[in-house]
C-alpha cells in the first residue's frame, strides 16, 4: 500500500472520536501520521541501495520529534539544514557520523559546532570551504566534508523547488567552475565527497539520474587529476511522490538499481552513497482532517471554510496549481459522505488574506457545517512550514502504529501562543 485509503482514514477518525483522543469541540484540525507506511517505505529504501549506504532523512520535510525518534530507531540518520535542526538531531541522539549538515548559510559558529562535534558537512561554496579549512587547522575532527556542486542539468516542473538549472542559489556550478572544483580536491586533502540535490518534487527520475551521471563524470576527472579517491557521493533527496491516487510514483527500487548501474559504468564501486530523502518517506504517510465551520453558497461559487489554510499549506496556497492533494468529505461522525450529486467547492482556510485557499473547484458530495474535509498525503512539507500568521494554534498530531493511536504532539493552547510572541 502506498497511500492511506479514505475508508481507513474514516475508521481512524471514528475510533479516535469514540475513544476521546479527539475532542470534537476543540480539535478543529487533526494531523494523522501512519508509522506502518513509514516502516514499509524505509524497508524499501534500505533494500534499494548498497548495504554501506548512509541514509539520512531531511528533517525539514517532517521535524516532529516523535517521528524523528522513530527514524532513529529504524537505524536511519538525518540531514540537518539549520542550527535548530542540528539541535533536534543532537537532542534525539543521532550519532554525529549519521548526521549531515547542509545549508547555504552556515555561520562560522555553526561550522565550529558541527566540526568539533564530528558531524558531516557539505560545503555549499568555495568560501565555505575556506572557513572549514581554518577550522580544520585548529580542530582534530572526524567530520567528513563534501562539496555541493550544481550539475546544471536543467529545471523541473516546479521552479521554486528546482535547484539544478543553469542558475541556482545552491552549490558550485560545474559548467563555470569545473577546474576550480578539481583544484579544491588537490588543495584540501580532507575534502572527500561530492554532494548534489537536483530538486524536490517536479524532477523526474531521469533528471535525477542525469545529475548523478554528471557528478560521476566530474568525480572521475577529480580522481584522475588529483591522484586521490573521492570517498562518497551524497545524492540528496528529490525522488518525487504521487499525490494522485490513480498514478504510481517512481519506484525507489528501480532508482537504486539505476544509480548502481551508473556507478558500475564509471567503475566507481568504491564510492559510498549517502541519501537525503524526505518527501519519499513522509508525504503519503500523513493526512490532515479539518472541520467544516461554514459552507458558503454564493451565486457563482461554493466555499468550505475549514481550519487549515496557508498556515499548514503554505505552498498550496501561495503557488496554486503547482501543488496537488486529493480530498475526501466525511460527515460529523467520521463516515464517508456520498451522494449522487457532487458540487464544486473552493476549500478555504481561516487566515485573513484572499490567497488562503488550499484548492479550488474540488468536486465533493454536498457538504454541511460540522463535516470533516480530509486532505490526503500531507506528511511532508506541510506542518514543517507551519506559519504563525494570525496566531492560529498548531493542531494535535496523532500517530497510528498497527491498531494503536497515540498523540505525538498536543494541540497548542492560547498560552503557547502568548509565550511564542512574548518570550525573549
Ligand X SMILES: Cc1ncc(COP(=O)(O)O)c(C=O)c1O
List of residues contacting ligand X (CB under 6 A): 58, 61, 79, 102, 197, 200-201, 236-239, 276-280
3-state SS, residue 291 = strand
- Give CA–CA dist 391/385, Å, rounded: 15
Tell me how far, at minimum, the Cβ of 385 lies from ligand X, in Å.
11
Q: How many helices (H) and strands (E) does the chain have?
A: 12, 19
Tell me how far, at minimum, the Cβ of 56 lies from ligand X, in Å.
8
Toward ligand X, which CB reaches closer, 281 or 304?
Answer: 281
Toward ligand X, which CB reaches closer, 14 or 385?
Answer: 385
For residues 335 and 16, the answer to whether their CB atoms sit within 8 Å is: no
Toward ligand X, which CB reaches closer, 35 or 280?
Answer: 280
Core vs surface per residue 122-154: b (16+ CB within 10 A) or e: bbbbeebbebbbebbeeeebebbbbbbbbbbbe
Exposed / middle / buried, residue 374 (Cβ in 10 Å: 0-12, 13-18, 19+): buried
Toward ligand X, which CB reaches closer, 82 or 333?
Answer: 82
Tell me how far, at minimum, the Cβ of 353 lies from ligand X, in Å.
25
3-state SS, residue 6 = helix
Q: Cell 572549514: give the residue.
A: 132
Tell me how far, at minimum, the Cβ of 53 lies from ligand X, in Å.
15
Tell me how far, at minimum, the Cβ of 141 lies from ligand X, in Å.
22
Toward ligand X, which CB reaches closer, 6 or 278?
Answer: 278
Toward ligand X, which CB reaches closer, 64 or 305?
Answer: 64
Tell me how far, at minimum, the Cβ of 367 lies from ligand X, in Å.
32
Q: How many CB atoms lie within 10 A of CB 403?
A: 8
Comparing every residue's Cβ against ligand X, the nearest one is 237
Toward ligand X, which CB reaches closer, 79 or 110?
Answer: 79
| Cell numbers found for residue 270 | 568504491
CA 79 vs. chain centroid, Å, equals 10
Tell me how far, at minimum, the Cβ of 28 lies from ligand X, in Å.
28
Rounded to 10°, the helix 108-116/126-138 angle is 50
- Give CA–CA dist 290/40, Å, rounded: 27
| Cell numbers found for residue 177 | 567552475
Tell me how far, at minimum, the Cβ of 104 lies from ligand X, in Å.
9
Toward ligand X, which CB reaches closer, 27 or 102?
Answer: 102
Strand 272-275 versus strand 357-365 pairing type:
unpaired
Tell me how far, at minimum, the Cβ of 417 lies from ligand X, in Å.
28
Q: Which of 2, 38, 11 has its CA nearest to residue 282?
A: 38
Q: How many CB atoms lie within 10 A of CB 30?
A: 26
Toward ligand X, which CB reaches closer, 12 or 200?
Answer: 200
Amino acid at each position: 500500500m502506498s497511500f492511506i485509503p479514505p475508508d481507513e482514514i474514516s475508521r481512524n477518525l471514528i475510533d479516535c472520536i469514540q475513544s476521546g483522543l479527539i475532542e470534537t469541540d476543540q480539535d478543529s484540525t487533526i494531523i494523522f501520521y501512519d508509522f506502518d507506511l513509514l516502516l514499509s517505505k524505509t524497508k524499501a529504501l534500505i533494500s534499494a541501495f548498497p548495504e554501506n549506504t548512509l541514509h539520512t532523512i531531511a528533517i525539514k520535510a517532517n521535524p516532529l520529534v516523535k517521528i524523528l525518534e522513530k527514524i532513529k530507531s529504524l537505524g536511519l540518520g538525518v540531514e540537518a539544514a539549520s542550527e535548530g535542526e542540528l539541535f533536534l538531531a543532537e537532542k534525539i541522539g543521532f550519532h554525529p557520523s549519521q548526521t549531515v549538515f547542509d545549508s547555504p548559510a552556515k555561520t562560522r559558529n555553526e561550522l565550529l559546532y558541527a566540526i568539533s562535534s564530528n558531524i558531516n558537512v557539505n560545503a555549499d561554496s568555495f568560501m565555505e570551504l575556506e572557513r572549514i579549512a581554518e577550522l580544520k587547522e585548529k580542530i582534530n575532527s572526524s567530520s567528513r566534508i563534501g562539496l555541493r556542486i550544481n550539475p546544471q542539468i536543467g529545471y523541473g516542473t516546479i521552479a521554486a523547488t528546482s535547484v539544478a538549472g543553469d542558475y541556482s542559489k545552491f552549490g558550485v556550478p560545474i559548467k563555470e567552475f569545473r577546474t576550480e572544483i578539481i583544484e579544491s580536491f588537490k588543495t584540501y586533502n580532507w575534502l572527500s565527497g561530492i554532494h548534489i540535490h537536483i530538486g524536490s518534487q517536479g524532477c523526474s527520475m531521469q533528471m535525477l539520474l542525469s545529475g548523478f551521471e554528471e557528478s560521476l563524470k566530474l568525480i572521475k576527472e577529480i580522481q584522475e587529476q588529483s591522484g586521490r579517491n573521492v570517498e562518497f557521493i551524497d545524492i540528496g533527496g528529490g525522488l518525487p511522490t504521487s499525490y494522485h491516487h490513480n498514478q504510481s510514483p517512481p519506484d525507489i527500487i528501480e532508482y537504486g538499481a539505476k544509480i548502481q548501474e551508473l556507478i558500475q559504468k564509471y567503475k566507481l564501486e568504491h564510492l559510498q552513497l549517502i541519501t537525503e530523502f524526505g518527501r519519499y518517506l513522509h508525504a503519503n504517510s500523513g493526512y490532515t482532517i479539518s472541520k467544516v465551520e461554514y459552507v458558503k453558497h454564493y451565486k457563482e461559487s461554493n466555499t468550505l471554510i475549514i481550519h487549515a489554510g496557508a498556515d499548514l499549506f503554505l505552498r498550496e496556497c501561495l503557488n496554486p496549481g503547482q501543488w496537488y492533494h486529493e480530498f475526501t468529505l466525511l460527515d460529523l461522525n467520521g463516515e464517508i459522505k456520498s451522494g449522487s450529486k457532487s458540487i464544486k467547492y473552493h476549500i478555504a482556510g481561516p487566515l485573513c488574506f484572499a490567497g488562503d485557499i488550499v484548492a479550488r473547484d474540488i468536486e465533493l458530495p454536498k457538504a454541511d457545517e460540522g463535516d470533516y474535509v480530509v486532505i490526503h498525503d500531507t506528511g511532508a512539507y506541510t506542518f514543517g512550514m507551519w506559519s504563525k500568521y494570525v496566531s492560529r494554534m498548531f493542531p494535535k498530531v496523532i500517530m497510528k502504529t498497527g491498531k494503536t493511536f497515540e498523540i505525538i504532539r498536543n494541540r497548542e493552547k492560547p498560552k503557547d501562543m502568548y509565550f511564542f510572541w512574548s518570550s525573549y
